Amino acid sequence: MMKLCGSLHQARPKSSGYTLLELLIVLVILGVLISVASLSITSVEKNPAEEALQRLKFDVDLALNESIVRSEPLAMVFADEGYGFYAQDEKSDQWVLIEDDGLLSKRELAKGLKTRLLIEQNEVSLPAELVDELESEWPEEASVVLIEPSGEMTPFSYQIMAEKKSPAYASFNSMGQVEADLEAADAETKDDKS
């Protein structure tokens, strides 16, 4: 009978391996490390010129849609500091900067970005800053893109350059669609240098 009691108290054989809790802790730590590493890698690779150009593409599409919805023309005016949207004032017939609309507000480019604007294949010199009002008629060499309620607009090309980064470039057709992107700018830049 003694033997029987003694066998009950024998030590259980040790199992080799990890508990579920230990595995979960290791997985959580790995998940945190991977997410921190991926965030730091993507933040290093961002090109401010490409980000600004992506915003411009969105804004052109938004302005085209807004012009159709409002059933009135809009103007997009470019300057060294950025660009803004204008609507025609019914009383004075002047173009007034849209300031009370959260979506079509004035866009300022990040510091250190340089831009180049071509309207209908002609390079346009940009004013230093945007003005609050424009005359109803503007000179042909003005940095103005007219957006019609029919969904058409003045074709233009825009290049944004950041120091030590590749330039971002887009060419918009009369329907506001992007015809050329970064590759075309690289080819132009190489041709200009030769």
Q: What are the tens digits of pLDDT across the range 29-71?
A: 988 888 888 777 665 667 888 888 899 999 999 999 999 998 9
pLDDT digits (tens, 9 = 90+) for 81-110: 899 999 988 888 788 888 888 888 888 988
**Topology given in CATH for the domain delimited by 48-193:** minor pseudopilin epsh fold (3.55.40)
Q: Give the tens place of pLDDT for each residue, 106-159.
A: 889 888 899 999 988 888 888 888 787 776 666 666 788 999 999 999 999 999
Q: Which residue has the tokens 């803004």?
A: 84
Q: Within 13 Å, how many C-alpha atoms sit on residue 162's CB side? A: 14
